[in-house]
Amino acid sequence: MRRSPKETEVAAGLVTRRGVVLGGIQLGFMGVLGLRMRQMQVTEADSYRLLAEENRINVRLIPPSRGIIYDRHGIAIAENAQNYRVVIVREDVEDVDEAIAKVRRLVNIDDRELERALREMSRRSPFVPITLADQLAWEDVAELAINAPALPGITPDVGLSRIYPLGPDFAHIVGYVGPVSERDLAQLQNPDPLLQIPEFQIGKIGVETKLEDQLRGKAGTKRIEVNAGGRVMRELSRDEFTAGQDLQLTIDHGLQNYAQVRLANESAGAVVIDIESGDLLAMASAPSFDPNLFVRGISTKDYNALRDHEYRPLFNKAVQGLYPPGSTFKMMTGLAALRAGVIGPRETVYCPGFMSFGGRRFHCWKRGGHGHMDFNNALMQSCDVYFYEAANRVGVDRLADLCHEFGLGERHDLPLSAIQEGIVPSTKWKAQVRGERWNPGETLNTAIGQGDVLASPLQLAVMTARIASGRAVVPRLIKSIDGVDTPVAEAPPLAVDPGILAMAQKGMWNVSNGSRGTARRSRIVADGIEMAGKTGTSQVRNITAAERARGVTRNDQLPWNRRDHGLFVAFAPFDKPKYAIATIVEHGGGGSSAAAPPARDILLYALYGDIPPLEAYPSEQRERIKAMHEEMALRPRLKPEAKPSRA
Amino acid sequence: MTYLVNQVQTVPTGLRKVLYVNWALVLLLTAVASVGFLMLTSVAGGDTGRWAEPQMKRFVVGMISMLMIAMVPIWFWRSMSGIAYLGALGLLVLVEVMGEIGMGAQRWIDLGPLRLQPSELMKITLVMVLAAYYDWLPLAKVSRPLWVIPPLLLTLVPTALVLKQPDLGTAILLIAGGGIVMFCAGVSWWYFIAVIAAGVGLVYAVFTSRGTDWQLIKDYQFRRIDTFLDPSTDPLGAGYHITQSKIALGSGGWAGKGFMQGTQSRLNFLPEKHTDFIFTTLAEEFGFVGGVSLLALYGLIIFFCVVSAVQNKDRFGSLLTLGIAATLFLFFAVNMSMVMGLAPVVGVPLPLVSYGGSAMLVLLAAFGLVQSAHVHRARNR
């Protein structure tokens, strides 16, 4: 279209005006953009910077290494072993199923484990390493490493896991660790954030759980840079963890092993205590179990087998098991009566084989009766009638007081699970617990350690140590924590005249060494380390009058679980008491036949600090003992690798 | 014939044209593109081969085409305007049809080494055809309703096609681009007031259509608008991009975290960091100084274009120059507003900086037209 020059000028002027207006608007908008940038990058920069930091930095916990538990000589009982495992990173694997199949050709992965791994894999991000199998042998790891080029995304890895090198020996004392359960978390007020780490282990029973705080240590932290997907890009800084504190137990690993093996075929418990210091040298409970099974997570089948076993391997008989102490209680009855002066030290009681009381006959174990018995003889021959009479004179309450002084009915405070207090009956106890009045006939039952009296082997061992020393020996299980010795509790003298106590000790010497002693067969013949003990047999069934008339059924004719418990308490050497022991063999029959022999053998081991020489045994038993020791699968004593110190 | 023909003897000819090329503009375009190369290197973690080098090659090709287009007289391009527009429209229909046949939305045509987006082409050809229209239209008729309808149709037909792809960003740019050319041509203010009023009405209609059978935009577009209005409602979902982009920008501070030190971009918190969100990386690594510098470069380009347009007595040339400058402005203004959280995420690249072949080539070709108008304008001797 033709335009006049004038129109062209007008048009150009219009474009110029509009163009300048447009340019102005554009400039204005750019100003807005600039101001917005200024607002974000200058005024609010700090808050955005903070957000950016929060975006990229994650703080992760570094689990501490758990404190090591040693025996009194520095032998590791619980330590942290390198746990070789194989992990898979899903995103680095082309075909997960195929990769797993390849791995399974090299190492054994059980189905349960695999199922867990697959489940976890589907839940987690593809770059998170998932454990396929752990507790691998070094050979398996080597095999995997060799095949690494053919297995992208599969890597052998190493972590720390709890291991109990001495296996079942310390299962009941040290216990075991396991993964944190929902229940564990629910029980805690302020759970340590460490517990949220997958595969973190905490103590479940025994010392492992009771001293969890000391053993666990403090987590370290690392600040890591992550990308938007949560993948770790690099580590920015690191605060190392504080390792858990090492513990040293008072237990002697060799003695513990000997006791466990000696009792292995029985359902039994034994406690050896150092009379001077109160150190517990052995706390056996047989049969035992391998705590390592629990660390990995025990299978239901294995667990049920342990749980349902007639001999209750999961049960710690040394502190958790309560038994009528039977005749081992007679020292208490005698001492109570002598201390009260209700019976003279040389005063005799006539035993016709029974005692009539409240229209009932209380029988002595010896049907024909013992005749005239003083304290010493009554103890040696375990005459029931003497103690019926003594108890009747002193009364149950004064007896109970003495029992508490000797540690019965007391909860010895050790870092162990399920410690039982036991029962020392008294009129007050009966009124409180049963809401009934005391029946005087019960005093007679109590006198011979039957009726309501219940004590654990630990309590009986402490009782024996106190009889032997005349001091209130306090048991101690932890020798040192973190290299610092735990103090030996003071053992004040007991309020019993030493002369009276000496009579009880002498009576016990007679039990083991006297010509008519009930445990004479289980004596120690080596000079200077003679043993003093007391047998006990506690009935787990009532013997009816009719049965008694027929003649009491012999134990070996009864089913196992109706047989009597055999008990034996002892200390040695008699002249200078060093160690005390209490042994219970559940349904083992009589104390002299079932409990005294192993107790003597264990005590001898404690005295010699190793397998005792045959000279310590009565000559006629030496052949049998030699054969027995050869048969026992004992672990040779271990030498400490290094002084136990903080790792 | 126009004023230009009468004054043709004052237009440079032959090799002398090279002297009259707006070299300042060439320099500014190169500077902006260089910022792009730098940032593409940064987001690739220092790897120039990944994005920066292909981008440089395209830039060289684009620069050569720009200069070649600049050498061709502007009146030739004016005569080509209609054909170019129809061609772009045809391609737009073609991708629409291909999209119907193929799977889902397809926005580009594969030309071997180059993927041509007809919508990119349309932004420029629309400016061309409208400039040519107003060059032809007598001044008196410019604001007559009857003569306003053809440019409206020229704008809305491709807009509708683009919106159907669906590409909201390009649709907005087309309407704004067309409107700006009409504004510069002198169409009465009242039309613009009316259109803005209508626009508000349309937005209202779009929002009321939500959830009904006649819903005008896609759900994801609605979500983008929602998250734009309040990103905190969905910090890990659709609002994530805006939130992370703002964090990156703000955390850059005054002078930035340094080249390749941007944690947000390096650790993948930023989406589309080599394309639509590249400005975020620039702002994070070079801070306020870097961001404003780029803004200033763009501003100078606009300034030189406006100066060139004002000095140009040729109506087609000046309208074209203003239109193309406005297109550039719309690109970076929308993109920057988006990454700063001032506008919803609509998928508009940062011109000459974002990685992408056809956008850069088309834009440089458009600046070839600007250069042609600059070179071939009548000069008072």
d(CA A590, CA A539): 9
Higher per-residue pLDDT: B264 or A43: A43
Q: Count of H helices and E strands in chain A?
A: 22, 21
Return all residues near A46 (Cβ < 8 A) that are at least 6 apart.
Answer: none
pLDDT grade for A646, boundaries at 50, 70 and 90: very low
pLDDT at A32: 94
How far apart CA A125 and CA A120 sit, in angstroms, is: 10
List helix spans (H) across A227-329.
Answer: 253-262, 291-296, 300-308
ipTM of predicted complex: 0.89
Q: What is the DSSP string of B31-80?
A: HHHHHHHHHHHHHTTT-TTTTHHHHHHHHHHHHHHHHHHHHS-HHHHHHH
Of B111, B74, B112, the residue nearest B91 (C-alpha): B111
- Residue B344 vs residue A541, higher pLDDT: B344
Residues of chain B positioned with their CB less than 8 A from the CB of A227: 267-269
Could you give phi then psi for residue A30, rounded to 5 degrees? -65, -35
d(CA B12, CA B377): 8
> pLDDT-derived band of residue A145, with 50, 70 and 90 as boundaries?
confident
Q: For residue A373, how many C-alpha atoms fall within 13 Å in the half-sphere facing its CB?
A: 29
Q: Which residue of B has its CA nearest to A16?
A: B310
Q: How many residues does chain B have?
A: 381
Nearest CA in chain B to A230: B267
Report the C-alpha gap between B325 and B239 in whole angstroms.
32
Extended strands (E) in B196-245: none
Q: A58 at the B interface (CB within 8 A)?
A: no
Supply the angle between the helices B315-339 and B74-101 in degrees, to the nearest 10. Answer: 40
Closest by CA to A229, choosing from B337, B268, B35, is: B268
Q: Is the pLDDT of residue A193 over 90?
A: no
Please enumerate in sequence order all residues whose Cβ is within 8 A of that of A298, keeping only pairs 6 or more positions apart, or say none.
A306
Report the C-alpha dihedral over residues A34, A40, A43, A46, rounded to 10 degrees.
-150
Place of tokens 């061709």: B72
Contacts of B292 in chain A (CB under 8 A): 34, 37
Token representation of residue A200: 């973190």
User: Domain segments of chain A: what residues?
Assistant: 82-159
H or E stretch at A376: helix A375-381
- Give the nearest chain A residue to B280 (CA atoms): A37
Region of A93 on the Ramachandran plot (φ > 0 left; ψ -120 to 50 alpha; else beta):
beta
Mean per-residue pLDDT, A576-597: 92
Q: Region A485-514: what's the mean pLDDT?
A: 92
Report residue A287 as tokens.
């049969």
- On whether the A82-159 domain is CATH 3.30.1390, my answer is yes
- A228 contact B CB<8A: yes
Task: Note whether B186 contacts A18, CB cutoff 8 Å.
Answer: yes
Contact of B131 with B320, CB cutoff 8 Å: yes
Q: Dihedral of CA A272/A274/A275/A280: which sign?
A: negative
Counting residues of chain A whose pLDDT is more than 70, the rounded percentage is 95
pLDDT of res. B233? 61
On chain A, the residues whose CB falls within 8 A of the CB of B298 are 30
Contact B309 A19 (CB under 8 A): yes
Judged by average pLDDT, the poorest of A76-85, A368-377, A500-509, B285-294 is A76-85
How would you list the strands of the sheet with A532-538, edge to edge? A280-286, A268-274, A579-585, A565-572, A532-538
Comparing A355 with A121, which gets the higher pLDDT? A355
pLDDT reported for residue B341: 84
* Closest by Cβ to A11, choosing from B139, B295, B322: B139
In tens, the pLDDT along A247-263 reads 999 999 999 999 999 99
Check residue A487 and report its DSSP letter. Answer: P
C-alpha distance from residue B105 to each of B161, B283, B343 (Å):
12, 32, 24
Distance in angstroms between the alpha carbons of the first and the last residue of chain A: 98
Q: How many CA atoms lie less than 13 Å away from A333 in the CB half-sphere?
A: 32
Q: Where are the alpha helices (DSSP H) in B267-314?
A: 278-311
Burial class (CB in 10 A: 0-12, 13-18, 19+), B203: exposed
Query: pLDDT tier at A53 (50, 70, 90 boundaries)?
Result: confident
Q: Is A45 near chain B, with CB under 8 Å?
A: yes
A352 pLDDT more than 90:
yes
To which H or E segment does residue A6 belong? helix A5-38
Q: Does A40 touch chain B (CB under 8 A)?
A: yes
Q: Do the Cβ atoms of A489 and A414 come closer than 8 Å?
A: no
In angstroms, what CA-CA distances link B381 with B12, B34, B378?
11, 36, 9
Give me the amino acid identity at A406: F
Most B CBs within 10 A among A22, A56, A224, hence the mutation to make, goes to A22
Please answer yes or no on whether B269 and A228 come within 8 Å at the CB atom: yes
Please tell me the distance from the alpha carbon of residue B269 to that of residue B245, in angstroms, as a whole number: 8
Which residues of chain B lie closer than 8 angstroms to A225, CB-CB?
263, 267
Q: Terminal CA-to-CA distance of chain B, rounded, Å?
A: 22
Instruction: Answer whether A41 sits within 8 Å of B2, measured CB to CB.
Output: no
Compute the residue count for chain A: 647
Structure confidence at residue B48 (pLDDT): 87
What is d(CA A602, CA A571) in angstroms, rounded to the nearest whole number? 11
Question: Catalytic: A122?
Answer: no
pLDDT at B305: 94
For residue B178, which residues of chain A lie inside 8 Å, CB to CB?
none
Say what the pLDDT of residue A647 is: 40
Cα distance between residue A313 and residue A85, in whole Å? 30
Nearest to A42 among B254, B319, B337 (CB): B254
Q: What are phi and psi of A371, to 5 degrees?
A: 80, -145
Rg of chain B over CA atoms, in angstroms?
A: 21
Residue B369: CB atoms within 10 A of its CB come to 28
Of B138, B264, B288, the CB nearest to A1: B138
Q: What angle do CA B63, B65, B67 make, to 5 degrees?
A: 70
Residue B188 near residue B147 (C-beta atoms within 8 A): no
CB contact under 8 A, B313 and A12: yes
| Paired strand residues for A478 | A249
Distance CA(A416)–CA(A421), nearest Å, equals 13
pLDDT of residue B106: 61
Residues β-bridged to residue A62? A220
> How confident is the model over B50-98, as pLDDT tens digits?
889 999 999 999 999 999 999 999 989 999 999 999 999 999 888 888 7
Cα atoms in the 13 Å half-sphere on the side-chain side of B143: 12
pLDDT digits (tens, 9 = 90+) for A106-128: 888 878 778 878 887 777 667 67
* Kind plus residue range of the DSSP H or E element containing B145: helix B145-164
pLDDT for B103 equals 47
Type of residue numbered A578: K
Least Cα distance to A272 among A281, A262, A261 occurs for A281
For an interface test with B, which of A37, A39, A224 has the most B Cβ atoms less than 10 Å from its Cβ?
Answer: A37
* DSSP-derived pairing of the beta strands A478-481 and A371-373: unpaired
Provide φ and ψ at A373, rounded to 5°. Answer: -125, 130
Strand ranges, E, within A63-148: 69-70, 76-89, 129-136
Chain B CB within 8 Å of residue A55 CB: yes
Taking the CA of residue B246 and the nearest CA in chain A, the distance in Å comes to: 8
Q: What is the 3-state secondary structure (H, E, C) of A334-364?
A: HHHHHHHCCCCCCCCEEECCEEEECCEEEEC
- Contact between A52 and B247 using a beta-carbon 8 Å cutoff: yes
User: Do the Cβ atoms of B350 and B335 come closer than 8 Å?
Assistant: yes
Q: Catalytic residue among A327, A417, A456, A538, which?
A: A327
CA separation for the pair A259, A263 (Å, rounded): 6
Task: Read off the pLDDT of each residue in A608-631 and give the average, rounded to a whole number.
Answer: 92
Q: How far apart are CA A583 and CA A535, in angstroms?
A: 10
How far off is chain B from A34, nearest CA to CA, in Å?
6
Phi, psi of A332 (to 5 degrees): -65, -50
Among B306, B361, B314, residue whose Cα is nearest residue B59: B361
Q: Which of A16, A22, A229 sits opposite B326 (nearest CB)?
A: A22
**What pLDDT is recorded for position B101?**
58
Does A23 reach chain B within 8 Å, measured CB to CB?
A: yes
Determine the Cα angle at A474 with ends A470 and A479, to 5°: 130
pLDDT at A94 over 80: no
- Give me the average pLDDT of each 10-residue run along chain B (381 residues): 52 82 93 94 87 92 94 91 93 80 60 75 93 90 89 92 81 90 90 87 84 76 71 60 84 87 78 84 93 95 93 90 94 91 82 86 93 85 52
User: Average pLDDT over chain A, rounded to whole?
Assistant: 88
């867990």: which residue's tokens?
Answer: A116
Q: What angle do CA A35, A37, A43 make, to 5 degrees?
A: 85
pLDDT at B188: 87
| Predicted confidence (pLDDT) per residue in A468-477, tens digit | 999 999 999 9
Q: Which of A12, A16, A37 lies closest to B291 in CB terms?
A: A37
Residues of B in contact with A13 (CB under 8 A): none
